[in-house]
Chain A
Amino acid sequence: MNPVLATLLLVLLAGILFTLPLLPALTELRLKRDAQPLNVIQQHAGEIRHFSYGFRSYIADLLEPLRECVASGTTAHGTMPGGDQYLLLGRADDTRLVSTGERTATCQLVVAAGMDVVLPDGITFAKEVYAAGEITGGEESVFRALLGEKDIHLGRASTVIRWAHAVGAFRAERDCDLYGRISSDREIQLESGCAFQRLNAPRIVFGRSDAEETSLGAETVPAPLPGGRRLVDEDLEIQAGEIVSANIVTRGRLHIGAGARVLGSVKSHGHIALEAGVHVEGSLISASTMHIGTDCRITGPVIAEHGIAIETRTRCGSVQAPTTVSAPTIEIADGVAVFGTIWARTEGQVVPQG
């Protein structure tokens, strides 16, 4: 073979072998199949009511027909632009349609009621349920999502899979599983045995509503926090009844004795234990776990990176100064009240008092 040709062929072959692994890269560079910016959430979809707002927009076109159903006392069926089938209930006793005509283990319709609605036991609602009035769910029911313009009341051992929003109060009887986002513009009340993930309302109470009703209105606004920091490299104990006016940061564990008061925020790298009646007029943050005793008052956010247990009659935040309680796991006793948000990334559980 001609040496020049051989050399050229060698160079060509080497070039091809070098270029071959780059083909996917060259193709992507040319075609720009994945050249869009990452999808940054610009409009704060983390807002707890995001889905309920979206659903309200989705059913906006159904509201006028729903009013007509109520005025004429009839029901109507149809298909949403997205393909979902819906059922409009225009009479209070139309709930029988759900309990008889639609009585199967699963209701596949978007249900919209123009007035108060009482739903039967044991039904799985695979689509959203909307009511212009109150929603009273049966026992052991499963809901994909609920939107109530007034109160929502779930029966024992019911499940919400994605979200629920009540313009009025939201109440769940014992042993309910509330996945996703549960919000109310007024109040959320969960009984013992309920599991939850994310709750938001001006007032969230755990246990029976007659528990400590009078003290729930006690409102405190966070005092201006002191500027000073107290840095501690080991375990720290604040004695019972002691008043500390500083922000506290400790590398070890933190124990706060009964009745002590901290005028500032608290951070511990280890476990935090609060005995009964402790007041923290700032945030309470642990890089580990946290146990909050009975009758404590925490003004600011309560955050633990691994888990929180809160005992009865403790209050976090107030109506005027709402706050957030957050940890992967949260165990919260009957009689506790949180004003604002409580967010258990893995699972929250309401446990009986004591």
Chain B
Amino acid sequence: MLYSLYAIVILILVYTARHYLFTLNRLFGFQRHPYIDIDTAVWPPVTVLVAAHNEEKVVAHILAALMSVNYPKDKMVVVPVNDRSTDRTREIIDRFCEDHPSRIHPFHRNGGKGGKAAALKGAMDLVETEVILIFDADYIPGSGLIKQLVAPFFDPEVGGVMGRVVPLNVGTNLLTRLLDLERSGGYQVDQQARMNLRLVPQHGGTVAGVRLSALREIGGWNDNSLTEDTDLTYRLLLAGWKTVYQNRSECYEEVPETWQVRIKQIMRWAKGHNQVLADYGLELLFGKHRATLRERIDGFLLLGVYAMAPLTLIAWLLALGLFYEGVAPLHGVIALLAFTAYAATGNFAAFFEIAAATRLDYTRQRICLLPFLVLGFVVSISSVSRACVAQLMAPITGEQFHWDKTARFRTTP
């Protein structure tokens, strides 16, 4: 029991150090934005896939935005991927298609396997371009975003690209404000630090791009994955392709406004991440492929993020158990000092990261909300742990692959 606790504590310390490393890198390190200055080029043809499942509230916004982006009109085709929608999504898409018949080629899907990856897989017959961009329907791309996301593909090593997601409905309630802070930390610090340190920036499956030849090389979309974006990141990495992050390629999104929706979302992410960890974790660490040592380590740690939630709960239980058994680890005094030291620094690593992100974003007052992140932490740790337990029990309970779409809150246009 004691050694199990030690092992978990060491893991927690590794993640703490990782938080500090990323934050200090963002604050003081060399920042890599190698492709952001490419503003003149012979722009390649590009297909923009817009994943839409019952998106009547938002799909018109993204299609209108895409029709006005600054990209050669004859080189960009938009493919709205209407995945078994039962609302007015199809009608709205078809109306846009009538107005822009040469620029919008809709893909309507009435049946088949559920999930975004399955829908994207189905739409690939309509894709003829080497560069593919992917947006979820609740995103609103700015005028220059398409060029910014296409630019990294001039690098023949790049297989995937990821832009920055920025919440639009920040001020709705406490949850949206906390998610805004989390997104800041996750993108402004975490993703960019991984880019700076040549680690593994994560493909987010939206505000993102993928190279067709790379996608074909790794076998296309994995429709058995709950997080097709994470799955894609790792398969690209194992095949010698890089995923790059463009922090200045920003795009608005809508974040969940209710805790129920947020819990569903984070549970899906946790299951998907763990699925990828099980599928590729060992191969990533020890397999024969082109990933560097630092990519192997960071990639594994990234996959283990969601597994840390139940491990932390287990560690708490172990610590309580040991306490009541009268065990004094590390002669008691050392343990007490270590505990105090961690309480003074380690506990704040994630908060420090988010605080640094808000500073980098030049926002001032929202940092005051930092203490409330404890609430988000509690919800996350319990939801993720539930997801992990459900996943472990799936062979017994017979739980099937199920993809939960994130509900939208925007007013219907």
What is the interface of chain A, defined by CB distance below 8 A to chain B? Answer: 21-22, 24-25, 27-29, 32-38, 40-44, 46-48, 200, 221-222, 227, 229, 231, 233, 247-249, 264-267, 282-283, 285, 287, 300-301, 303, 305, 317, 321-324, 326, 340-341, 343, 345
Given A38-B166, A300-B41: 11 more A-B contacts, CB < 8 Å: A28-B366, A37-B169, A38-B363, A41-B142, A47-B70, A47-B144, A200-B40, A267-B156, A283-B154, A285-B157, A301-B41
Residue pair A41, B42 in contact (C-beta under 8 Å): no
| A200 contacts across to B, CB distance below 8 A | 39-40
Complex Cα–Cα for A74 and B171 (A)? 56
Task: Considering the complex, give the chain A residue whose CB is closest to the CB of B32.
Answer: A305
| B70 contacts across to A, CB distance below 8 A | 44, 47
What 1/0 flags go to B275-315 for Cβ under 8 Å of A?
00000000000000010000000000000000000000000
What 1/0 flags go to B138-176 for Cβ under 8 Å of A?
001011100000010011110000000011111100100
Residue pair B155, A345 in contact (C-beta under 8 Å): no
Distance in Å: Cβ of B68 to nearest Cβ of chain A = 10
Q: Do most interface residues of chain A lie in helix, strand or loop, or is the interface mixed? A: loop
Complex Cα–Cα for A265 and B35 (A)? 15
Residue pair A283, B156 in contact (C-beta under 8 Å): yes
Also in contact, A33 and B41, with CB within 8 A (given A25-B372, A265-B154, A301-B154): no
What 1/0 flags go to B251-274 for Cβ under 8 Å of A?
110000000000000000000000
| B140 contacts across to A, CB distance below 8 A | 42
Distance in Å: Cβ of A342 to nearest Cβ of chain B = 9
Residue pair B37, A324 in contact (C-beta under 8 Å): yes
Top 5 closest A-B pairs, CB basis? A44-B144, A35-B171, A34-B365, A247-B156, A340-B40
Interface residues of B in 23-61 (CB under 8 A from A): 32, 34-35, 37-42
Also in contact, A285 and B154, with CB within 8 A (given A231-B240, A341-B39): yes
| B38 contacts across to A, CB distance below 8 A | 301, 303, 324, 326
Distance in Å: Cβ of A280 to nearest Cβ of chain B = 11
| A345 contacts across to B, CB distance below 8 A | 37
Residue pair B365, A249 in contact (C-beta under 8 Å): no
Distance in Å: Cβ of A109 to nearest Cβ of chain B = 33
Q: What are 10 sample pairs from A and B whose C-beta atoms fall under 8 A apart?
A: A29-B174, A36-B170, A37-B168, A38-B166, A38-B363, A43-B142, A48-B39, A249-B157, A285-B156, A324-B38
Distance in Å: Cβ of B178 to nearest Cβ of chain A = 10
What 1/0 flags go to B234-253 for Cβ under 8 Å of A?
00000010000000001110
B116 adjacent to chain A (CB < 8 Å):
no
Residue pair A229, B364 in contact (C-beta under 8 Å): no
Complex Cα–Cα for A248 and B156 (A)? 7
Number of chain B residues close to chain A: CB under 8 A: 45
Complex Cα–Cα for A222 and B70 (A)? 22
Contact partner of A343 among B37, B41, B252, B371, CB < 8 A? B37
| B169 contacts across to A, CB distance below 8 A | 37
Also in contact, A32 and B251, with CB within 8 A (given A38-B166, A227-B213): no
Residue pair A305, B363 in contact (C-beta under 8 Å): no
Interface residues of B in 159-202 (CB under 8 A from A): 166-171, 174, 177, 180, 184
Complex Cα–Cα for A221 and B41 (A)? 11
Distance in Å: Cβ of B409 to nearest Cβ of chain A = 14
Task: Considering the complex, give the chain A residue whose CB is closest to the CB of B159.
Answer: A229
Also in contact, A300 and B154, with CB within 8 A (given A27-B368, A37-B167): yes
Residue pair B171, A40 in contact (C-beta under 8 Å): no
Complex Cα–Cα for A150 and B318 (A)? 78
Contact partner of B37 among A21, A40, A227, A326, CB < 8 A? A326
Complex Cα–Cα for A317 and B40 (A)? 10
